[in-house]
């Protein structure tokens, strides 16, 4: 089954070209490309939108303008309205993450969209009555998000639902090889030999516990082969220096 | 155990007051309040930052300026660097969501921070070398996020880790009561009576299946008591109208 098409973004009566440009940029960041404007008050095409969109100008060229939500949404199967206001109407309210999951579950060929109101007043109740449900972005007490930020967060959650980036990974430099166990043990023994000679691993009955603690610290660093070589060079340099100091 | 303190946000050499203001607003949206600037190139205090921060001016007043990352981070126990660039250094790279989880797991009393580079060049390798690990925001091919947007996404993920908003819920209007089963069944029977009289539920052997399908549709709407009353009124009105049409 082909993956579902990215949702369209519909901006209802946006006021400022800069905000449309910020929305376009956010869409491009997360793989959305179908922008539809309902009666933009700033006029269209708009140079401020293009400047703010920076490298995402292609989306600006492809943007379509409509006279009403009925027209903008005519070909769409699923439309979610993004709004922060309470409305006194019994409607399902979902989080951006849940919206991302539902949009990803849309059947092949189904067209979906995210609807955003304008900067001053948001969406009105008639517009919301044409949508399947409402997305509300959870925030702290200071809930005022601008238009570009709202588009960014909802687009991000859509992208994230299909993103396979592992939560944590080691990014390696040019030499990526992990040391073998023999190379690691040779480094441990080199360090412990020097620490014994310098009197650090003393008294002898404490030595095994101290050695285990040092080895645990070094294991936690998950060293590469190159880092093991560097550490052995540091041990040699420090031990040499110490001997020189003692001789003078 | 008290919840961990919200992470500080450190902006290294930011260039534009507007971007600092957007970062402040994003912090306020998600409950962060400790902003630290390293050598802001736009000068500080900055009126453009204050204008962009809108209702979050309190954070602007509390912002501290430092001469270096060493000074800005001196009291911190955990510092994550946010950067998109490849660096050729073996360092752990985590997602914003993983960063949110790790910051929430910080021990009580531990101080944490999120570090962001400037608009043009991001963070340099010396700055990254002072941090525990690197956060990279996953994006589509168009990866350029502005400073305010990067602060927004990472702050959002921190907030979200402790946010208990259910993924989906019904927001109710003024009358929230669900109908009793008897009220729902009375509506079903009212509708089916009118549909039988009007010849819709025909032929008789298809009737049980048609009735079950209609009931399933109405159940899916999860009607409130008020909506059941409204629907019964609609049935009465439609049936009346139909009889009138037949009589003329």
pLDDT greater than 50 at residue A248: no
Sheet containing B168-171: order of strands: A64-66, A35-38, A8-12, A112-116, A78-82, A133-135, A91-94, B168-171
Query: What is the residue-averaged pLDDT of chain B?
Result: 91
Percent of all residues in chain B with a pLDDT value above 90, rounded to a whole number: 77
Give A21-30 pLDDT, tens digit per residue.
999 999 999 9
Beta strands in chain A (DSSP E): 8-12, 35-38, 64-66, 78-82, 91-94, 112-116, 133-135, 168-171
Report, as an integer, the average pLDDT of B112-136. 93
Cβ contact, residue pair A30, B139, below 8 Å: yes
Span A180-217, pLDDT tens digits: 999 999 999 999 999 999 999 999 999 999 999 999 99
Size of interface A-B (CB pairs under 8 A): 139
Judged by a CB distance cut-off of 8 A, whether residue B125 touches chain A is no
Instruction: Return the top range by mean pLDDT from A75-89, B38-52, B161-175.
Output: B38-52
CA distance A4 to A109: 7
Residue A68 pLDDT > 60, yes or no? yes
A98 → closest Cβ in B90, B167, B227: B167
Query: Does the pLDDT of residue B99 top 50, yes or no?
Result: yes
Higher pLDDT, A235 or B246: A235
Q: Which two tokens stand for residue B160?
A: 């979200």
Euclidean distance between CA atoms A29 and A157, whole angstroms = 12
**Average predicted confidence (pLDDT) for chain A:** 91
With a cut of 90, say whether residue B176 has pLDDT above it: no
- Of the candidates A91, A152, A224, the beta carbon closest to that of B171 is on A91
Mean pLDDT, to the nearest integer, of A225-247? 80
Q: Which of A17, A32, A3, A51 is nearest to A151 (CA)?
A: A32
Count of helices and strands (H, E) across chain B? 10, 8
Residue of B nearest to A30 (CA): B140
Using alpha carbons, select from B114, B118, B138 the residue that is nearest to residue B30.
B114
Q: Which of B43-57, B146-160, B168-182 has the lowest mean pLDDT?
A: B168-182
pLDDT band of A42, cuts 50, 70, 90 = very high
At residue B195 the predicted structure's pLDDT band, cuts being 50, 70 and 90, is: very high
Alpha-carbon gap, residue B34 to B10, rounded angstroms: 9
pLDDT of res. A90: 75
Is the pLDDT at B247 greater than 60, yes or no? no
Q: Does pTM top 0.90 for this prediction?
A: no
CB contacts, 8 Å: A139 with chain B: 29-30, 159
- Residue B13 contacts A where some CB pair is shorter than 8 Å: no
Query: Chain A residue closest to B144 (CA)?
Result: A29
Please tell me which residue of chain A has the smallest CA distance to B85: A171
Choose the most confident range, by mean pLDDT, from A31-40, B54-63, B173-182.
A31-40
Strand partners, B64: B36
Decide if pLDDT at B89 tops 80.
no
User: What is the structure's pLDDT at A107?
Assistant: 85
Question: According to the model, what pLDDT value does residue A247 have?
Answer: 44
- C-alpha–C-alpha distance, residues A137 and B160, integer Å: 10
Helix axes B225-247, B181-197, angle to 10 degrees: 10
Task: Spell out which residues of chain B touch residue A160, defining contact as CB-CB under 8 Å.
Answer: 97, 138
ipTM of the complex: 0.87
């Amino acid at each position: 089954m082909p993956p579902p098409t990215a949702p369209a973004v519909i901006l209802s009566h946006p006021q400022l070209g800069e905000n449309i440009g910020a929305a376009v940029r956010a869409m491009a960041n997360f793989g959305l490309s179908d922008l539809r404007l309902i009666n933009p008050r700033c006029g269209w095409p708009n140079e401020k939108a293009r400047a703010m969109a920076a490298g995402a100008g292609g989306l600006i060229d492809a943007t379509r303008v409509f006279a009403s939500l009925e027209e903008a949404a005519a070909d769409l199967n699923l439309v979610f309205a993004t709004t922060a206001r309470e409305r006194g109407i019994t409607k399902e309210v979902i989080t951006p993450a849940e919206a991302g999951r539902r949009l990803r579950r849309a059947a092949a060929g189904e067209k979906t969209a995210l609807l955003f109101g304008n900067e001053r007043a948001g969406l009105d109740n008639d517009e919301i009555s044409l949508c399947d449900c409402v997305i509300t972005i959870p925030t702290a007490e200071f809930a005022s998000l601008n238009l570009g930020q709202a588009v960014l967060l909802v687009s991000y959650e859509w992208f994230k639902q299909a993103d396979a980036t592992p939560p944590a990974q080691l990014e390696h430099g040019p030499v990526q090889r992990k040391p073998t166990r023999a190379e690691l043990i040779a480094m441990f023994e080199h360090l412990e030999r020097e620490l014994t000679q310098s009197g650090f691993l003393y008294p002898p009955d404490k030595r095994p516990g101290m050695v285990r603690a040092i080895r645990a610290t070094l294991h936690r660093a998950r060293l590469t082969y190159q880092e093991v070589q560097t550490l052995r060079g540091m041990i040699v340099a420090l031990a040499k220096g110490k001997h020189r100091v003692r001789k003078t």
